C-alpha cells in the first residue's frame, strides 16, 4: 500500500483531507492495512484525550459487525428537493386531477339522465300521438324494473340459503322471505 | 460538516447499504461510547452489552439521521438513552429478583465469570496509555509538538502551521509520522 494513502487516512481522521474523500473511503473499507491504521490512529487519539475506558474489549467492533450482518441493509431513499415555486403547481395538479376524475365519473350519470330527457323529447315526433310515446316509455321502464327485481330475488334467495347453511339466525328466520313477482300487475 | 468530513462520507456509504462503513464508525467511536456507558453501568460485561445495543440502535435509526448535529452528538444521545433504559429495566428486574436470592447470586456469579472468562480479549487502559505516552516522548520535538497540538489542543492544520511556522503539508506529514511511530509501539499490544 502506498504510504501516501496511509497519510491520507491520517488526514481524513483530522477532517483535513484536501482531495475528494470518496476514493479514499473505498480504499479504507476494502484494505485491511488502512482499516488497521484507522483503528490504531483513533486509539492513539482516545488515549491522548483520556477517552479510554478502564478495560478495552478487542472484539467489540467485530461483535457489533456480526449483529449488524443480521440486520437488513439500509437503503435510505434519496430525497429530491423540489423548488419552492413547484409546490403550488403540485397542489394545482392534484386539484385538476380530482376535477377531471369527477367529470369522468359523474358525467355518464348526468348524460344518462339527460339522454332520457332528450329521448322523451326526441321520441315525440310531430304528429305522433302522445299516448303512443307514453306506452313506449312504460315498456322500457317495466323492462328495467323486471331485471332489477330478478337480481334482488336472486340475492335474497342466496342470502337465505347461506344463512341457513352457516347456522346464522338473525332476523330473517322470523320474517317472511320477500320475493317479487315479475308478472305482477 | 464539510464535504470531506469523514463521518459524513461514511454515513452516506451506510445509507447506500455498505455495512463496512458502519463498522468504521464503530471502530472510531467504540472507546468513547464504552467510556460514556460505563458511567451509568458499572459491570464491564453489561457496559459492553449496552454499547453493542446502542450501536445497533444507531444503525437502525441511521436513515433518520439528517446531519443537523454532529454524528457523535446523535450517537451520544442514543448511548445515554440506551444506558438509562437498561438501568430502568435492571431496577425492575432486581425488584422481582429480590424474591429469589439464589437467582441473584447465580447472575452475579455469571457476570463475574464473563468478566474473567476472556482476559485475552481485554486490554488495560493504563497499559495502552503508558505505551502511547512513552512513544510520544520518544518522538523528535517537531513531530511531538505537531501531534500534541492536534490531539490535545484540537488545533487545525492551518493553525498548527501558523504556530510551527511551516507549510500545512509539513504539518500533515509530521502528524502522520508521529502516528506511525506510536502505532509501531502499540502494535504488539493490539496483536496479542
Alpha carbons A49 and B28: distance in angstroms, whole number: 14
Please answer whether residues B21 and A30 qualify as being in contact, where contact means their C-beta atoms are separated by less than 8 angstroms: no
Task: Outline which parts of chain A fall under CATH 1.10.10.880.
Answer: 3-70
Q: Which of residues 3-32 of B touch A (CB under 8 A)?
A: 3-6, 9-10, 13-24, 26-28, 30-32
Going by pLDDT thresholds of 50, 70 and 90, the confidence category of residue A131 is low
User: How many Cα atoms occupy the beta-carbon half-sphere of A92 within 13 Å?
Assistant: 5
What is the dihedral sign for C-alpha A140, A142, A143, A149? positive
- Higher per-residue pLDDT: B75 or B118: B75
Task: Tell me which chain A residue has its CA closest to the CA of residue B14.
Answer: A74
Q: Do A57 and B122 touch (CB under 8 A)?
A: yes
Q: Show residues of chain B in contact with A63, CB under 8 Å.
A: 48, 52
Does the beta-carbon distance from B27 to A38 stay under 8 Å? yes
pLDDT at A123: 47
Cα–Cα distance between A6 and A38 in angstroms, integer?
Answer: 9
DSSP letter at B167 equals -
**Partner B contacted by A70 (CB < 8 A):** no
Whole-number pLDDT of residue A115? 46
ipTM summary value: 0.86
pTM over 0.90: no
Cβ–Cβ below 8 Å for B30 and A60: yes
Residue A180 has pLDDT above 60, yes or no: no
Q: How far apart are CA A74 and CA A166, in angstroms?
A: 49
Task: Give percent of chain A above pLDDT 90.
Answer: 29
Choose the closest CB to B21 out of A14, A29, A44.
Answer: A29
Give the three-state DSSP class for A55: strand
A54 pLDDT tier (thresholds 50, 70, 90): confident
Indicate yes or no: CB of B176 within 8 angstroms of CB of A46. Answer: no
Cα separation values, B120 from A63, A72, B116, B191, Å: 15, 32, 10, 11
Q: Report yes or no: A146 at the B interface, CB cutoff 8 Å.
A: no
Specify burial of residue B48 (Cβ count, 10 A radius: 0-12, 13-18, 19+).
Answer: buried
What would the grid cell of residue A118 be? Answer: 332528450
Question: Could you tell me which residues are beta bridge partners of residue B123?
Answer: A56
Check whether B14 has a pLDDT greater than 70: yes
Among A residues 75-134, those touching chain B with beta carbons less than 8 Å apart:
75-76
CATH of A3-70, one of 1.20.58.100, 3.40.1640.10, 3.40.640.10, 1.10.10.880: 1.10.10.880
- pLDDT tens, B71-83? 999 999 999 999 9
pLDDT of residue A138: 83
Amino acid at each position: 500500500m502506498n504510504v501516501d494513502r496511509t497519510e491520507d487516512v491520517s488526514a481524513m481522521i483530522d477532517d483535513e483531507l484536501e482531495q475528494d474523500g470518496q476514493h479514499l473511503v473505498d480504499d479504507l473499507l476494502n484494505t485491511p492495512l488502512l482499516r488497521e491504521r484507522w483503528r490504531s490512529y483513533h486509539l492513539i487519539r482516545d488515549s491522548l484525550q483520556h477517552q479510554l475506558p478502564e478495560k478495552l474489549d478487542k472484539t467489540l467492533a467485530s461483535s457489533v459487525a456480526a449483529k449488524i450482518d443480521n440486520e437488513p441493509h439500509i437503503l435510505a431513499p434519496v430525497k429530491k428537493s423540489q423548488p419552492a415555486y413547484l409546490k403550488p403547481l403540485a397542489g394545482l395538479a392534484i386539484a385538476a386531477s380530482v376535477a377531471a376524475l369527477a367529470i369522468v365519473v359523474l358525467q355518464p350519470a348526468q348524460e344518462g339522465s339527460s339522454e332520457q330527457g332528450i329521448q322523451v323529447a326526441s321520441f315525440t315526433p310531430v304528429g305522433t300521438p302522445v299516448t303512443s310515446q307514453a306506452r313506449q316509455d312504460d315498456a322500457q321502464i317495466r323492462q328495467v324494473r323486471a331485471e332489477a327485481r330478478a337480481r334482488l330475488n336472486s340475492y335474497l334467495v342466496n342470502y337465505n340459503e347461506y344463512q341457513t347453511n352457516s347456522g346464522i339466525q338473525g332476523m330473517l328466520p322470523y320474517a317472511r322471505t320477500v320475493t317479487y313477482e315479475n308478472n305482477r300487475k | 460538516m464539510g464535504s470531506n468530513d469523514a463521518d459524513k462520507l461514511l454515513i452516506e456509504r451506510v445509507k447506500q447499504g455498505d455495512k463496512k462503513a458502519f463498522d468504521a464508525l464503530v471502530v472510531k467511536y467504540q472507546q468513547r461510547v464504552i467510556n460514556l456507558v460505563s458511567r451509568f453501568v458499572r459491570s464491564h460485561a453489561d457496559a459492553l452489552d449496552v454499547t453493542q445495543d446502542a450501536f445497533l440502535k444507531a444503525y437502525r435509526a441511521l436513515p433518520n439521521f439528517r446531519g443537523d448535529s454532529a454524528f457523535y452528538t446523535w450517537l451520544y444521545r442514543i448511548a445515554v438513552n440506551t444506558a438509562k433504559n437498561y438501568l430502568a429495566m435492571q431496577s425492575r428486574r432486581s425488584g422481582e429478583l429480590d424474591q429469589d436470592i439464589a437467582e441473584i447470586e447465580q447472575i452475579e456469579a455469571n457476570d463475574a465469570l464473563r468478566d474473567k472468562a476472556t482476559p485475552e480479549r481485554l486490554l488495560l487502559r493504563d497499559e495502552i496509555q503508558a505505551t502511547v505516552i512513552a512513544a510520544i516522548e520518544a518522538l523528535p520535538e517537531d513531530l511531538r509538538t505537531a501531534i500534541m497540538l492536534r490531539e490535545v489542543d484540537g488545533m487545525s492544520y492551518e493553525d498548527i502551521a501558523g504556530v510551527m511556522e511551516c507549510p500545512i503539508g509539513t504539518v500533515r506529514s509530521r502528524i502522520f509520522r508521529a502516528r506511525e511511530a506510536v502505532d509501531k509501539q502499540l502494535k504488539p499490544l493490539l496483536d496479542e
